[in-house]
Structure 1
Amino acid sequence: MPIMVRKIKAKQILKRHSQSVSGRAIAGSLGISRSSVAETLGAAADAGVSYADIASKSDDEVCALLFPGRNEHASACRQPDWEAVHRELAKTGVTLRLLHAEYRDSCLSDGSPSMGCDRFCKLYQSYVVANGVTSRVERKAGSTIEVDWAGPTLEIVDPVTGESATAYLFVACLPFGRYAFVEPALDMGETTWLRCHVAMYEWLGGSTPRLVPDNLKTGVTAHPREGEIVPDERYRALADHYSAAVLPGRVKRPRDKASVENTVWHATMAVIGAMRNRTFRSCI
């Protein structure tokens, strides 16, 4: 089954061009290169296509019209029946991790290559977005933990030397009930990141099938637009220990972990804002 890779924003380019916007301005407004704009306008001219001809078409249809075959490549892995996956998730006790295990076993039985659990979860989310259906995962109780560092910090003053240090807030959230966990830390290094996760799991008294962090380097080594997400080796080991799949939010897409982003804001008010006039001697 072919899957889509990154596409030029052809429809938006043609729309702005029809409004007499310059190529430089189009590139700036869409956050793309001027060469992409020129390439799209050239392809449209060669095909004799204007914005009026494609106004009612989807972005994928426009890309396929101007650049036939470019935006697809054959996946080496057997693609699941996403419609069936979506139906199964509505059933009690069914999780993406369970469905991935069944998919993997099916691939093993017929000798087909299978994708990893992280990739499986990511492609399911792509299916949800592409088909305009409601995700079975986002609001299912006990399915996801979202984690992040808060931007604002606290000051810790050594009672002996008087020297100050910075304290950072690790924030976690269960999206279904917005149950939150906040842990102060003296750094944001990998060891501290992992230790905060252990403390979080101990506090919650369990784990979830999905763990949604940001794309920080202590958690994610690589997050390509296509292909397997590559979590940090130690982070993946920790997630495996707690039977969780690491599914980072997309780059510059805070809504992918909206619950923890909102919890960060509340934690900032409740901890940093409300206690701004207090002096702290330690993180304990």
Structure 2
Amino acid sequence: MKQYEEKYKEIFRYLSLGISRNEISKLLKTSRNTIRKFENATESLRLTWNDASSMTSEEFANKLFPKSNDDNDNLQPKPDCEMMYLELQRPGVNKMILWQEYSEEVRAAGKIPLQYSQFCNYFNQYIERNKATMHFDHKVAERIEVDWAGTTVPIVDELTCEVSKGYLFVATLPYSQYTYVELMSDMKQENWINAHINMFEYFGGTTPLLIPDNLKTGVIKHPKNDDVILNKSYQEMGDYYDVAIVPTFVRSPKGKPSVEGTVGKVTSSIIARLRKEEFHSIKEANIKIRKCLDEFNAKSFQKRDGSRKEIFENEEKIFLRPLPKESYEFAVWKKATVQYNYHVAFDKMYYSVPYEYIKQKVDI
């Protein structure tokens, strides 16, 4: 850290003047990660340039990153805050449980654990300095939010030159913001469900919750004070992957804010980038879209360390629930009346059923 102490006040001065991290990095030959870490520390302490200007370089550095007392650390070990941060994402885990586990380990080593208040304070300081811009309200691998993007992609038939529309399915894991997109020829039930199947394969696992909108291909009825009635095929798919499908309240985009925000980002990062290209099939468009998607997930965050892909692979993927051995197969459901010959007709074929069902309506 000493090699940066002399630069800290210069970094802060430049930031106070509104100079970008990229420019500061070039001027002071300092990495953007160091500048971002420094910026998080000053924001968490609510420091202004007026505060810093009266301090020496050493005083300013110690204010931001206090030096630890090695002897005291040996006698009273500090908790592993990164491990705590990840463990707190698990259902039911809280700071009290982690403090109790930490205390048992420290006492077993013949040392003195921090008191609970000290333990929490130490962890909160770590969060402020290292995760200051993270949204700590999302549980890891808890939910997937899904939606259709409003902007469409034109598909031009090579023979007739007729133009049809492609519709972009978007799914996001709120914790890592890791995203899946796929272009479909329509927004009907079969494409809606197949997009989910492909999404699960892309993520490599499932979450306990799936949060869609109240679109007709997924939700039949969503009364305010009663149970949601899902489309039968959609419910079947949820049961197959052991996922609870919980639609947002009607006209409530805030119920799935992560995917709502991602829709805007992928519209700019993917659809807008491809606006000058001409596609002759959904498959052709999806090849280009997948390439843009990979770049989108790998791109570094502006106000957070790492990228969607890095956080997903390092922190979230291991908590996803495993997929079934076989992918779900889409099924079409239809009502039919059993005729006097105890048969039902479907897709120009006749199928026999027990005669007790004659003149009754059945599900096919």
Per the normalisation by structure 1, the TM-score is: 0.52
Matched residue type, 1:91: V
Distance in 2 separating the partners of 1:150 and 1:160: 28
Larger Rg: 2
C-alpha distance in 2, partners of 1:224/1:91? 33
Tell me which residue corresponds to 1:266: 265
Deviations 1:43-77 (A, max 9, x none): xxxxxxxxxxxxxxxxxxxxxxxxxxxxxxxxxxx
For 2:222, give the aligned amino acid: H
Whether 2:200 is the aligned partner of 1:201: answer yes
Give the 5 Å matches for 1:132-171.
Answer: 139-171=138-170
State yes or no: 1:234 paired with 2:233.
yes
Q: Pairwise CA RMSD of aligned residues?
A: 1.7
CA shift, 1:141, in A, is 0.9
Per-residue deviation at 1:254?
0.7
Residue 183 of structure 1 corresponds to 182
**Aligned match of 1:217:** 216
Structure 2: runs of 5 or more not aligned: 1-89, 95-135, 284-364
**Secondary structure of residue in 2 paired with 1:240:** helix
- Relative contact order higher in (CA < 8 Å, ≥ 6 apart): 1
Query: 2-side partners of 1:263 and 1:283: how far apart?
Result: 22
**Map of 1:70 onto structure 2:** none
3-state SS, counterpart of residue 191 of structure 1: helix
State the shift of 1:89 in Å.
4.2
* Alpha-carbon shift at residue 138 of structure 1 (Å): 5.7
1:224 to 1:187, Cα distance in 2 relative to 1, 3 A: same
Q: Structure 1 residue runs of 4+, over 6 Å off?
A: none
> Is the 1:173–1:181 Cα contact (8 Å) retained in structure 2?
yes
Counterpart Cα distance in 2 of 1:181 and 1:273: 17
| Structure-2 change in CA distance of 1:147 and 1:138 (3 Å) | farther
Paired residue type of 1:261? E
Give the length in aligned residue pairs. 153
Q: Which residues of structure 1 form unaligned runs of 5+?
A: 1-87, 93-136
Which digits, 9 at most, give the CA deviation of each residue in 1:90-124, with x for residues without a partner? 338xxxxxxxxxxxxxxxxxxxxxxxxxxxxxxxx
1:244 aligns with 2:253: no
Match of 1:91 in 2: 93
Q: For residues 276 and 152 of structure 1, what CA distance do their matches in structure 2 show? A: 11
1:175-213 per-position Cα deviation (integer Å, ceiling 9, x unaligned): 000000000001000011001000101111111100000
Matches within 5 A, 1:29-178: 89-91=91-93, 139-178=138-177
Change (3 A) 1:219 1:138: farther
Instruction: Name the CA distance, whole Å, in 2 between partners of 1:91 and 1:226.
Output: 31
Cα distance in 2 for partners of 1:138, 1:214 equals: 21
Contact 1:138 1:144 in 2 (8 A): no
CA distance in 2, matches of 1:223, 1:251: 7
Q: Is the 8 A contact 1:138 1:175 kept in 2?
A: no
| TM-score normalized by the length of structure 2 | 0.41
Equivalents in 2 of 1:89, 1:223: separation in Å?
Answer: 27
CA distance in 2, matches of 1:158, 1:196: 23
Cα gap change, 1:175/1:233 in structure 2, threshold over 3 Å: closer, same or farther? same
Q: C-alpha distance in 1, partners of 2:262/2:276?
A: 22
Q: Percent identity?
A: 41
